[in-house]
Chains A and B, each alone.
Chain A
Amino acid sequence: MFNFRTSLGQAEFENPIFTASGCAGSGKELAQFFDLTELGAVVTKSIMLKARSGRATPRMAETPSGMLNSIGLQGPGIDLFLEKDIPWLREQGARIVVSIAGESVEDYAILARKLRAVQGISALEVNISCPNVENRGQVFACQPATARAAIEAVRRNIGGDLPIIAKLTPDVTSIVEIAEEVVAAGADALALINTVLGMVIDINTMRPKLAGKTGGLSGPAIRPIAVRAIYQVHEALPNVKILGMGGVASGRDALELILAGASAVSVGTATFGNPTAVIKIKEELQNELIAHGFDSLREAVGYAHRKEVNL
């Protein structure tokens, strides 16, 4: 029997294929196409303290093998989210990873306090790739000190043993340095990678195409960046579990991230092109692992790091 189980921090999952934050709606939209219990976990959109309108449109531009988005974290705010989305997901029997995002260190602390007693959550993904209003809009995850502060705030307030997964941006000089900081601050696992900052200029209007000017690049175009980031971080911190993501559209792609060091894989943009992509990827991944001679997923995690042996 092939063993597909995996873990992130103390949380165990039946299989390693998750949705990516912000790419699965509330779960209801995808439930029309497959049973959510088929997933390792549903990762919710990043939820903030208050309701957010998000950015103006246009919010997206398709790019070669990818897309730019500038949604601006549109959402109902934590209270409505806990009242509506979480009970529904729980009723479906889905494994839930809640993603949170804040505008200040204090926001992260309050969000963690609001979530600490909520039943049925498997882990917390902390999106720190958002602008810090207290620091000239600098992104938390771009500097070691602010990345650390946000994760510490969650750690201090979450209590119990709900695993914290810190989600990092690849838009930094050294992702390993940021990873080491957030792990020291109490992150149990890491989510790699968030979107890569980009821009498209409309050559007809001769202005940036997105209303928000810049946007986050996702999809297969960023996969090599994800593989590199996961590989580097796994090499530096081999005992810290990684939830990998970035351009995964097939089982073969998921395997690449796993070989680099990911213990589980989130699928984002591929769902936009194919609502059942996660199910297809899960099946293909299992077949790929078996075809490569693995008896379990765990054996394949980080396999690309093995020492060369001279026979």
Chain B
Amino acid sequence: MMGINKNASQVIAEIVSNKKVGAYHHMVFAVGELAKFAKPGNFVAIAVGGESSSMVLRRAFAIYRAFDRGTNGGLLEIVVAPHGAGSTWLTNQSVGFKVDLIAPLGTAFGIPTEPIRALLVGGGYGSAPLFGLSEVLKNRGCRVDMVLGASTAMKIYAPLDGKRSVSSLTITTEDGTTGITGKVTDVLPGIIETNQIDIIYSCGPMGMLEAINQIAAELGVVHQCAVEEAMACGIGVCMTCVLPIRGEDGEIRMVRSCIDGPVVDGSSVIWGSKRQIPEGTWGAN
């Protein structure tokens, strides 16, 4: 446990760009040095609402891309869905406004040493961290296929330059406004088989991750997913963001998704245990 978040720092970061893209806002922050430590899967925690805000907790967002520009200072990009008061406040801030930001936080996607075949699956804004990941994988000689899904076309985040780093991109929407009508899980088995996928990386709502994990388990494919649990602190001190995970010793523990996640091994998660502690969990009584 030594050196938790050892590359993280807290900075006052200026918004250098804020553009509406479909249902989301693509936002860029000048963060200085810390950009060089950001890895795909890491997230940022941003204070919202201004000085005398009644919103006392930070909001977590996956890092979409990071640019280390040496002495010119680095940039961090995120994709924000205006959801409640906090994320809406953030998307309403203009270029030049400064926010209090902590990054990079949490675990990153594990990168294979061999040039294997990877499938990246994103739900809604969950696609954001996958583009940076696909770049890294491609540079390692991996073949990268991508599947993005959402309820409707406006909620598919798939920028042009991001698409270039993947060998194939399949899009599904539940209302059929773009791509294949249905859910990502409808197309996964076919793609996994045709492209002989070795590993799945996923990010999106918990229900989607659970469904992907089931397919991965059935087809014997390794699955790394970035989970999304409600977080109060983002740095490991509050114990609110936990989920049950089976450790290497076989013991199930309530693990903090902010420091031992958000990227976890899908097969280690005890899925479907919202609102209950799974039987046999360490320390359950």
Contact = CB atoms under 8 A, between A and B. Distances in A.
B275 interface: yes
B88 to A, nearest CB: 14
A32 B47 CA distance: 18
Contacts of A76: 283
Instruction: Please give me the 7 A-B residue pairs with the lowest Cβ-Cβ distance, nearest first.
Output: A51-B283, A272-B233, A29-B236, A60-B240, A25-B237, A53-B283, A53-B284
A211 interface: yes
Given A24-B237, A29-B259, A272 B232 contact: yes
B153 interface: no
Interface stretch (B5-13, B32-40, B216-224): B5-13
A75 B239 CA distance: 10
Contact of B232 (A54, A60, A211): A60
Interface SS of chain B: loop
A275 B8 CA distance: 11
B175 interface: no
A57 B239 contact: no
A69 interface: yes
Contacts of A274: 10, 47, 100
Contacts of A67: 56-57, 232
Contacts of B72: none
A308 B285 CA distance: 55
B277 interface: yes
Given A57-B243, A59-B240, A60-B240, A275 B230 contact: no
A60 B231 CA distance: 8
Interface of B: 1-6, 8, 10, 47, 54-58, 100, 102, 229-230, 232-233, 235-243, 253-254, 259, 273-277, 281-285
Interface residues of A, number: 44
Contacts of A28: 1-2, 4
A62 B237 contact: no
A54 B102 contact: no
A273 B46 CA distance: 9
A228 interface: no
A77 B243 CA distance: 19
Given A25-B237, A274-B100, 15 more contacts: A28-B1, A29-B259, A32-B3, A32-B6, A50-B283, A53-B277, A55-B277, A60-B240, A62-B55, A65-B54, A75-B283, A77-B283, A272-B57, A272-B237, A273-B57
Nearest to A76: B283
Given A53-B254, A57-B230, A272 B238 contact: yes
Interface SS of chain A: loop
A54 B282 contact: no
Contacts of B235: 29-30, 32-33, 275
Nearest to A218: B56
A220 B56 CA distance: 9
Nearest to B231: A60
A64 B56 CA distance: 8
B5 A32 contact: yes
A191 to B, nearest CB: 19
A65 B4 contact: no
Interface in A261-289: 269-276
